[in-house]
Amino acid sequence: MFHLWGFSFGQLPSPQTPNPPVFQPVIPQNSYQQPLFQSPTSPTVPNANQIIEQQYQQLDQQTGVYHHRPYMSWEENRKAQQDFQQQKIQQQRGYYHPTAENHFKQLSPDMEFQTELLYLLQEVSTINQQIIASGYYTSGSYLADMVNYENAFTSLKDMLEGKYPISLADAFFIEESAYGNLYLTYQEYKNEIIRSMKFMQQYMRENGLPLNNPEAIHLTIQKFMGDTLQLKSKRIDNGSFSVPRGHLPFAYDYIDYRAEKDLRNYFLTKTLATGSGQCNSLPRVYLVLAEIMGVEAYLSFGVQHSFIKYKNSQGVIHNYEPTIDWHMSDQDYMDEMPVIAQALKNRIYFDTLNKKQIVASVIIDLAYNFYREHWVADGRFILNSIDYALSYFYNGIAHEQGLILKSLVLASQLDRALLQAGITNLADIEKDSTAYACYIRFRENEMLIKKLGIQPFPETKYQEMLAKHDHRGRLQTAKKINVKSKKSLFFNF
């Protein structure tokens, strides 16, 4: 199964600035073929609609391609197309009955790969055709925004190559500002971080905590993020910075927590501006606070999750979960999100990413933001960003999202090559060297993903999580808890 669960097909997210045309679903011209299948038995006395459907089924049989019905909705056509493909597959050699010996799979590994590829190509082809037909990639708005992304990549690359000091705070802002329309200006962003530092330093002084003790600093950051703190002294005025006497804890934002409606819900700037975030942005808060307080913190990934690791005074690594203000062991995480041994061995999950690796991961996030805003274009920007960033990880490959996004882009390039060559049957792919080269690159990346042990979130747990989070999101809405507007967590009393 292709590991593209982190991405949403079927629509191109509307950019914030600039705004491209609104893309509507179109009937794909590239309908990728497999052998014919036996159509279902028709009713004895068909009505007019059934006669039309029979004619379409006969056409499908003759051509081996599903033809979209104008009298059906887009979703109905999509479901019918999937059923059509599945029935064809069942008639092929290589399709066999599920048994315990084959882990109850109905397809041989090669057939399973080909089937998933067909589904993916149909999805990618639809998006490619509608955006290319619109002329969006030659528009002035796209070309101007492309410069923003290229400049952001260059700045992050220069940071990694030592042309100026590494700053996680700057790296996050560079990445997010390429997308644009941020909740905070750069000055507001920096001021919020400095104000937080001054508040924590004063809190440590008042509570007898040594400012040069890394573990004490980490515990203070955790209390700052997860508890309500009050200073004993009066309001602190230090130059241009006014430090209030109290600070509220950060909250989890359950409304659009997957950032499907607004990508900024993933951003650090949004969380600092509103006081709410999720497992992508709250660890970023911790990282910039640790950086300005002068202590080392590591970013770590679970399956579709990120959290913090840090060392105590004895050098023992601890995990901190900023979404719930709690310490968890690696085993606690694995109990919630099972991870296979191969992924641990390849340091895909639970690794301790240092500052350089975090910036490299930010480059992959930049590529993901580009995908969300502009789809994949010709793929060069995303692939260049990913390939450069991957070199900073274990064995030059150990980054889940980077490899997953790479597969999506390679599939898009394959679709374009097939369309250019006029190939609609994958059995003919070797007839065109460009298309075949794209196919090989895609297959190699998918094999690498499987070899590394990268896995989707377990479906049952994923659905349970969605139900729980959606319920909590409805509660936040019902209680009129505003997690999207700017507000400060600092207060005076």
Which of 86-100, 301-315, 451-465, 470-484 ranks highest by mean pLDDT? 301-315
**Two tokens at 422?**
């006029």
Beta bridge partners of 299: 308, 353
Cα separation, 279 vs 140, whole angstroms: 35
Beta bridge partners of 326: 321
- Whether 465 shows a pLDDT value over 90: the answer reads no
- Whether 25 shows a pLDDT value over 50: the answer reads no
The residue written with tokens 């995303």 in the block is 382
pLDDT grade for 461, boundaries at 50, 70 and 90: low
Give mean pLDDT, residues 177-182.
Answer: 96
Please state, as a whole number, how many other Cβ atoms lie within 10 Å of the Cβ of residue 104: 9
- Provide the 3-class DSSP secondary structure of residue 121: helix
Cα separation, 77 vs 67, whole angstroms: 9
Closest CA to 11 of 309, 337, 21: 21
The residue written with tokens 């309500």 in the block is 228
- Whether 373 shows a pLDDT value over 90: the answer reads yes
Cα separation, 212 vs 214, whole angstroms: 6
Supply the mean pLDDT for the chain: 83
Q: Which residue has the higher pLDDT, 227 or 90?
A: 227
Q: Which residue has the higher pLDDT, 464 or 182?
A: 182
Cα separation, 306 vs 399, whole angstroms: 12
Give mean pLDDT, residues 27-43.
Answer: 39
Residue ranges with strand state E in 89-193 = none
Q: Which residue has the higher pLDDT, 235 or 445?
A: 445
Angle (CA) 341-278-403 rounded to 5° is 45
pLDDT tens per residue, range 428-439? 999 999 999 999
Which amino acid is it at 38? Q
Measure Cα distances from 475 to 210, 270, 324, 464, 468 in Å: 41, 21, 18, 17, 11
Q: Are 402 and 390 in contact (CB under 8 A)?
A: yes
Q: Which residue has the higher pLDDT, 3 or 180?
A: 180
Cα separation, 436 vs 428, whole angstroms: 9
**Two tokens at 231?**
């200073």
- Whether 107 shows a pLDDT value over 60: the answer reads no
Half-sphere exposure in the Cβ direction for 126 (13 Å, CA): 18
Task: Return the pLDDT at 57.
Answer: 85
Q: Exposed e or buried b for every residue in 114-132, given b needs 16+ CB within 10 A?
A: bbbbbbbbbbbbbbbbbbe
Task: Return the pLDDT at 462.
Answer: 56
Give mean pLDDT, residues 416-428.
Answer: 90
By DSSP bridging, strand 251-252 and strand 276-277 are parallel
Task: Return the pLDDT at 425.
Answer: 84
pLDDT tens per residue, range 374-419? 999 999 999 999 999 999 999 999 999 999 999 999 999 999 999 9
Asked, as a colleague might, if the bond just before 20 is cis with ω within 30 of 0, I would say no
The residue written with tokens 């040594």 in the block is 210
DSSP 23: P
Cα separation, 198 vs 283, whole angstroms: 20
pTM above 0.85, yes or no: no
Task: Return the pLDDT at 111.
Answer: 75
Give mean pLDDT, residues 145-150.
Answer: 97
Closest CA to 1 of 123, 116, 102: 116
The residue written with tokens 């203000």 in the block is 325
pLDDT tens per residue, range 186-197? 999 999 999 999
Closest CA to 73 of 118, 127, 10: 10
